[in-house]
Amino acid sequence: MARKMKEGTLPGMMEKAARIRRVLRRTYHQRTGASHLDLGQIEHRIITSLYRKTATELGLQAYEMGRALCIEGRGKRFRIWQCTTELDTFPCAVITEDKVLTKALFKERGIPVPEGRAFDWSDESSGIEYALSLGRPCVLKPASDTSSGKGVAARLTTRREITRAFRFAGLFSPQVLIEEFIEGENYRFLIYMGKCLSVLRRELPQVTGNGTSTVRELVEAENRSRIQTSDWHDGDPYLMPLPMNAGALRILREQGLDWRRVPKAGQQVHLAAESSYGLGCAYTEVIGKTHPDQLKSAEEAAQCMGVKLAGLDIISPDIEASAHSVLEINISPGIEIHSMVGNPEQMTHPIRTILKDYFEIGS
């Protein structure tokens, strides 16, 4: 009865209306993005192809079961659907999707993480004031229930940018996580059974000025070459289209550019502040250069969360030095990117390592 009375009051009705607006805005955002590439389907197709090929090479049987790929042999079965495998449980996924919890657990273990706090999506003013109080660029992201950079905005400095990013992140999660922006390069560490199998440097999507073409012309030309090449196959991050959206325009303006400006010859023009598969970024294998302290942090982070197959996002100014910050952990990492690096001679073949261990093949 008390609950009904509360909902019937003006504050209760306003809160309900705010929740409805939030759901409608999120639905609109997702529907208007429907014309974009379906990255989930692309990932599933390429991951399935890589697992099937490797399984065949190892003498295992691979076949489709509905939308999943099944691999059998030596009395065992291993199933894959998109980025999800047999290895980790659903409760483990729920825990790792809580970025606030994982951040706290990492800090308890002495694992370096960016300074930050989470705010309820309805407490916009407090979140904005905290972001401004950091006194340096910040990152806003949904505090839970998202992956692949959804709802994330980086390198924010002004009240207007932070306000828009807070409302955007609040579409995807009840809480918004605000963190300091860490300068450095973005790396993906792939951990399997407590051991790092691969470290990728994720390069921001960019074009290079030629002194005569506008930014728009450079991006359109690059996208045409990516799509029209005879080598094109969906899933290759080097051939994914570069972004030409409002987010890219904001990054251009930070560089003193817009779509109509002509960059100098040789000038590197970035189109995003974060490195994401869907933004056309590229990957380089660097595990052979990675400092032991960074490997230790990634392996400890996966172990403290109890994750068997994990992708750790780490920012570091120098992969060969000790300094770094762990951003988050992903329980269903896009393992296909570790087989699509720009230096294939350094590829570590993690899928082969996983299947050989799971099916106890060889040593």
Per residue of the chain (363 residues), give pLDDT as tens. 444 445 567 666 767 766 666 666 555 554 444 344 555 676 778 888 899 999 999 999 999 998 899 999 999 999 998 888 989 888 888 888 889 999 999 999 999 999 999 999 899 999 999 999 999 999 999 988 766 667 888 889 999 999 999 998 998 888 999 999 999 999 999 999 999 999 999 888 889 999 999 999 999 998 888 766 666 555 565 667 788 888 788 889 889 999 999 999 999 998 887 666 667 778 999 999 999 999 999 999 999 999 999 999 999 999 999 999 999 999 888 888 898 888 989 999 999 999 999 999 986
Please tell us whether the domain made up of 115-181 is placed in CATH 3.40.1800.10: no
In contact, 195 and 299? CB cutoff 8 Å? yes
In contact, 175 and 22? CB cutoff 8 Å? no
DSSP classification of residue 86: T
d(CA 36, CA 39): 9
Give the type of residue at 51: Y
- Residues β-bridged to residue 140: 153, 178
| Furthest-apart CA atoms within the chain: distance in Å | 71
- What was the pLDDT predicted at 5? 47
This prediction has a pTM of 0.80
- 160 contacts: CB under 8 Å, gap ≥ 6: none
- Residue 4, class by beta-carbon neighbours within 10 Å (0-12 exposed, 13-18 middle, 19+ buried)? exposed
- What was the pLDDT predicted at 44? 79
d(CA 190, CA 10): 51
**Residue 199: both structure tokens together:** 């470290």
- What was the pLDDT predicted at 31? 44
- What was the pLDDT predicted at 124? 94
Please state, in angstroms and as integers, the Cα–Cα distance from residue 308 to each residue in 100, 171, 252, following that order: 21, 30, 39
